[in-house]
Structures are given as C-alpha cells and as structure tokens.
Chain A
Amino acid sequence: MAEIGASSQTNPFRWLVVAVPYLWLIVFFAAPFLIILKISLSDTAIAMPPYTPTFEGFGALGDFLSQLDFDNYQFLTEDPLYFNAYLSSLRIAAISTLLLLLIGYPMALAMARASSTIRPTLMMMVILPFWTSFLIRVYAWIGILKPEGLLTLLLQTIGLLGPDDQVQIFRTDYAVFIGIVYSYLPFMVLPLYAALEKMDGTLLEAASDLGCPPWKAFWKITFPLSLPGVIAGSMICFIPITGEFVIPDLLGGAETLMIGKTLWTEFFGNRDWPLASAVAILLLLALVVPIVIFQNQQQKAG
C-alpha cells in the first residue's frame, strides 16, 4: 500500500517520526559501537578513564589514525585464555540451545495440542516467569544447588545420598546448564509454540487420511513446518547465551569460562578498558552469523 497520501508528505513534522528514534539509536546504539572499536585499538593507560583518549577533533585525524594499533587484538590471540573462553562460550551456548530444544519442543507441542480453552492459561504460565527478574530466577537455584542446599537435603531424605555426602553441582558447568535452561526456557517455548499453534490441524488429518501414521506425520508434516520457530527460538537463545554473564558468574565455578564473564572481569576487575573493548568486538564478530540468520527470519516472519 502506498502512503497515507502524497499530499500529507508536505507536512515537515512527519519526518520527525523517523528522525527522532533514528537519531536516538544512532547516538546511543551505533555511535557506542564505533567508540568500542576505536578504544579497542588504543593503548591502556592508568589514568581515569583508563584509556588514553585518542581523538581530539578532526584536525588530529592523522595523529589519531597513526595511534591506532592492533596490540590488544594481538594480545588476545597470544593469550590462550581468551581463545578458550570463546570456544567455551560457543560450546556452552550450543549445548544449552540443544537442551532447550529437547525440553522446549515437547512442551510447546503439548501446549499447542492442548484444548483451546486452557491454551491461554498455559501461555500465561510460560510467560509469568519471564516477567519475574532474571536475577531472582538464577538466585533461586543457588539455594537449591549449593552443597548444603535443598537438593542435597532431598536426596539425603529419600536415601539416594549418604548423610555426609553432598551434591557437587554448584559452581560447575552443570549448574550453569541448569540455570541457562531454566532462564531461557520461555524464550525457546514461545516461538516454537507460535509456529506450532498456527499450524492447520487439517494437515495432520489429511496426512492420516492418506495413510500416514501419527509418528511419521509428525516428522513429515509437523516438524518441517515448525522449522521457522525452531530457528527463531534457537537464535533467540543461542545469541544472548553466548554473551551470558550473570548465570556463569553466580552458578558457575572458576573453571567455567565464558566470554561475557571474561569481559566483565577485564573491565571491572583489571580495569583494562581497551582489552575489554577488543573482547567485545570479537564477541560481536562471532555472533554476526547467527544475528544475520535471526534478522532474516524476523523479516520473513514480519
């Protein structure tokens, strides 16, 4: 459809609708990335702010360019800690996404197959934890998983664990997986549910009418048609999990390496802002492919 009317384009205030949010995003979203990029290329200084300002007006552009260097990036490639943290982040994100799919898919399917009277209630029950604080949800698991926590107590009570044994999950990768799956489950279930729910029920009836048994109909009809939901859900989970900080920090142990945590430590612990910026830039680069997939998916859906 065309515009409201060619004539209304004469209204100059009309362009404010685009200009105001656009400018806001350029200043507070796009510009910061350029600054990160710039700082990641500058030297650490002990002064506050902890980096040498490298840009003073356009006259100094030449100076500025000559000062840029790839020392921070070089450092990142030299220290295996960062490389390992990247790999570990991607590994944890991949495994978590897979776990989320394995749990979320049956759940979304069960919701989509439930009677239409209780579906809104089920939907609300999935969304409700999402409205409660992320931090609270992670915190809730600390009390359960820690060695002297409720899980130990439960297992001791039912006799699976000796009175002196304790569950050694807290501060390990397992706790991180539990925390991630718990926190991200609604994000996985909702796109899956949306894809499954809008599916035409007569398709399965048609398949059954043509002699296809239910399990085969699932693989041949339901699953392929829900793939957009699977991709959307996976991307919505995988991308932020890769950069996750709170969960590995609160539930993970010293050996849990994740790039978000490394960045946080570089920044708040070591106060090495340029290095933290370099870490951020590389994290972003690692996520470019999944982000592009996600965007395409969104555009197709929109």
Chain B
Amino acid sequence: MAKSLGPVKRKFSPWTDPSATPFIRFENITKRYGDFIAVDNLTLDIYEREFFSLLGPSGCGKTTLMRMLAGFEEPTSGRILLQGRDLSGTPPYKRPTNMMFQSYALFPHMTVEKNIAFGLEQDGLPKPEIRARVEEMLKLVKLEAFARRKPAQLSGGQRQRVALARSLAKRPKVLLLDEPLGALDRKLREETQFELMDIQHTLGLTFLIVTHDQEEAMTVSDRIAVMDKGIVVQVATPAEIYEGPNSRYVAEFIGDINILECALTENAGVCLHEGHPPVVRLESDGLSIAVEQECPAAVGDRVAFAIRPEKVRISLDPPAAAETNTAHGEVWDIGYLGDFSVFLVKLEDGRVLRAAQANVSRLVDRPITFGDMVWLTWPLDAGLVLTR
C-alpha cells in the first residue's frame, strides 16, 4: 500500500514533565457490580494528544474503565476529570468523547453518509456544514465511493473505517476505541494500525484504545497501562514495558520471557561498569546469575530472574568472556518461526530455558540441532530481577 506518511513524529512525552496538567484524570475510580469489583480504586492520568492503550486480558476492567469515561457506566466511587471538569452525572450524549465500538455499531438502516452525519445532526449543525464534514471524513477514510451504501453492503475493513469516520466526525476531544481492530484479519489489522496512528497524529486528537492484543498496543501507543483484576499494574511506554516490566504479570503478559526462581545472595555489590548500577547476585538451584540492577530486595529474599529469549545467546562452544552469565544444557526442541528460531534448552536440573536466534542467513539446515549440548550466555544487563 503506497501512501504518504504524515509528518515525522517527534519525541512526545508530557508525562515526564511534572508541570504538565493531565487531559483526562481517573481519580480513585472504583466500580462494583454486586460483589464483583471490576475496577479497584484506580488512578490514571492521560495527556492531551496522547495515544494511550489499556491493555489486559478480558475481565480486567479495561472496557469498564473506558465505558465510564464515555458515560455508559457511572463509577461506584471516585471521579473522572476531563480538562479539569468533573464528568460525574453528565450523560453520554453530553460528553465531548466519542467511541468506536468493538462491533462497530453501524446503524444498519442508514447509509454510510447518514451514519457519519448522525452525530453532526444531533448537534444541529447547518446542512451544508454537515455535508462538507461528511465528505471530509469520507475522504479521510478513503470511502468516497461508498457514501450511498448500507453497512450490510460493505466488507469488514470498510465497516471499520465507517465506524472510525463516524466517531471522528464530531471532532471529539477524546476518541475511545474498543478493540477497534479485533474483527479484522492479521494483514489488514497491521495496515490499519499505521493508518490509525497517522490519523491520530494528523488530527492531533487524544486516543484511548482498549485492547487485549499486546502487539497492537505496542505498535500504536505512546503509553500503555497494563491492567489486571481492576488495577493498573504498570503504566509506561511500550519500550519501557517490554524491557523493564515491573512485575512477573507484566513480563509474562507482554512478549515471551524465561523466568527462574532465585534467592538473592548479594545486593548492591561491586560496580563493574562505569555508569551502570551495581551488581545483584542470584542463586537458582546451582546456577549463579549476576544482574546489573538497582533492586529493593534484601539478601536471602526469594525473587525471580526474567530474561527475554532473544537476549540469550546460544552457542556450541563454551563462552570466552568471563563477565557474562552462562548455562549449559541440551537442545530439547526447536521452534522454527521463519524470522526467528526458538531453542528450548534443557538444563542439567531439568529446567527449560528458551533462546531465540535471528535467522540471518538462508540456511535450511541450522548448525545447532536436537540433542546438541549447547552453551547459553547473556550479559549482565540483559536480564531483570523481579521482586513481585
């Protein structure tokens, strides 16, 4: 798909600026359904022009949170502020937010045009202005040729774009997207992700997206809030979340990761590299691991060591450098993914570590195969000590 990319993105991080005021603020929000707590005393700030994702498994409260912002649900306690204004008691039809529904919720008895014009008509805009705005929206989503069609006469991808156009037509202060790409097939989804980012950037709107798809969240978001059982576990940029998950839950939810149970044997030891944190040493059933990291735990605590498979090097030869962590084991299984191969290596004590290797050359027969005894190595700053 040949298309012009929008203006080059610049670094955007208002959340690091302590003087910036949040655009949307969820303040101690709790939502109960009978005994079930969907959202538990949650506080979260979202900034203007941010593309923000709520990520989590189904039932984690992300959709409830979004529906409270749209006004379909009222929080049991706490309040939601938009530009400092408390939204409590404002019905959905009076809120400056618009939502793109998971099912798209296109009105089946209205044409594409009518669907897009619906929100503008509610505002009582003059006819010519509505027409102009509808045309602009149709152009934005490249559906000019389909204006007179009914939703039933459109493909899934086209419906998704109509839904987007309809929710953007009123130029909402915040656009809420509920699993916006869930119904599309993989290829279309990837294309649309970039289109969404483009539109968001061009229009300069604040987008809040709810998704359970971590790849989607990673691709589109400025920041992600990872949710579990009604609370936010971590809020950070995609890279921070991937490289520095603050808990096992986040580490395991996003991407693939090896986790080893360890005991902490030394904290804040020597500083091996200038500018790096001091070394933390761990002991895991005979395997000694050193990590350069600030760690709040004390010696003797049970902690977890986490490392992403692509950061583990696999080799038939023993490592030469002394300043790395090593493990020795047997190749137990190989998963060939095309771009990557994942090796499952069984350590002597029976535990399995995964190591991923980019397939940089066009070899059908890889040098490492089933049953080989291999060495796994990773540098001191590749893994992470997780205390919760």
On A, residues with C-beta under 8 Å from B are: 2, 4-8
Residues in B whose Cβ lies below 8 Å from that of A5? 71-74, 91-92
> CB-defined interface of B46-71 with A at 8 Å, one 1/0 digit per residue?
00000000000000000000000001
Could you tell me if B73 and A6 are in contact, using CB atoms closer than 8 angstroms?
A: yes
- Asked if B73 and A2 make an inter-chain contact with CB atoms under 8 angstroms apart, the answer reads yes
Knowing that A5-B73, A6-B73, A7-B92 are A-B contacts, what are 16 other residue pairs whose CB atoms are under 8 Å apart, sorted by A's residue number?
A2-B33, A2-B72, A2-B73, A4-B72, A5-B71, A5-B72, A5-B74, A5-B91, A5-B92, A6-B74, A7-B71, A7-B74, A7-B89, A7-B90, A7-B91, A8-B91
Q: Which residues of A contact B91 (CB under 8 A)?
A: 5, 7-8
Report Cα–Cα, A8/B94, bound state, in Å: 12
- The answer for the CA separation of A2 and B76 in the assembled complex, in Å, is 13
Chain B residue at smallest Cβ distance from A2: B73
- CA of A2 to CA of B73 in the docked complex: distance in angstroms? 8
Q: Could you tell me the distance between the alpha carbons of A7 and B89 in the complex, rounded to whole angstroms?
A: 6
Closest residue of chain A to B70 (Cβ to Cβ) is A5
Compute how far the CA of A137 lies from the CA of B3 in the bound complex, rounded to whole angstroms: 70
Tell me the minimal C-beta distance from B386 to chain A in angstroms.
37
Q: Once A and B bind, how many residue pairs between them come within 8 Å at the CB atom? A: 19
**What separation, in Å, do the CA atoms of A194 and B72 have in the docked complex?**
36
Could you list 19 examples of A-B contacts with CB < 8 Å?
Answer: A2-B33, A2-B72, A2-B73, A4-B72, A5-B71, A5-B72, A5-B73, A5-B74, A5-B91, A5-B92, A6-B73, A6-B74, A7-B71, A7-B74, A7-B89, A7-B90, A7-B91, A7-B92, A8-B91
Residues of chain A lying within 8 A (CB to CB) of residue B92: 5, 7
Q: How far is the CA of A191 from the CA of B91 in the complex (A)?
A: 42
Tell me the smallest distance from the CB of B102 to a CB of chain A, in Å.
Answer: 13
Contacts of A2 in B (CB 8 A): 33, 72-73
Name the 6 nearest CB pairs between A and B, nearest first: A7-B91, A6-B74, A5-B92, A5-B91, A5-B72, A2-B73
A224 CA / B72 CA spacing, docked (Å): 42
Q: Which residue of B lies closest to A8 (CB)?
A: B91
CB distance from B226 to the nearest CB of A (A): 25
- Give complex CA distance A300, B125 in Å: 47
- Give Cα distance in the complex from A261 to B33, angstroms: 53
Instruction: State in angstroms the CA–CA spacing of A10 and B348 once bound together.
Output: 68
A255 to B72, CA, bound (A): 65
In the bound assembly, the distance between CA atoms of A4 and B91 in angstroms comes to: 10
Give the Cβ gap from B214 to chain A, nearest Cβ, in Å.
Answer: 27
From residue 81 to 117 of chain B, which have CB atoms closer than 8 A to chain A?
A: 89-92
Closest to B73 in A: A2
* Bound form: Cα–Cα A6–B33 in Å: 13
In the bound complex, how far is the Cα of B92 from the Cα of A8, in angstroms?
Answer: 9
CB-CB < 8 A to B72: which residues of A?
2, 4-5
A193 CB, nearest partner CB in chain B, Å: 28
Cβ-closest chain B residue relative to A7: B91
Give complex CA distance A2, B90 in Å. Answer: 17
A residues less than 8 Å from B90 (CB atoms): 7
In angstroms, Cα B73 to Cα A104, docked, is 48
Chain A min CB distance to B33 (Å): 8
**Smallest Cβ distance from B184 to chain A, in angstroms?**
24
CB distance from B67 to the nearest CB of A (A): 9
A46 to B90, CA, bound (A): 66
**Shortest beta-carbon distance from A173 to chain B in Å:** 53
Residues on B with C-beta less than 8 A from A6 are 73-74
Neighbouring B residues of A4 by C-beta, 8 Å: 72
Complex Cα gap A7–B68 (Å):
12
Residue of B nearest to A11 (CB): B91
A45-B166 Cα distance, complex, nearest whole Å: 72
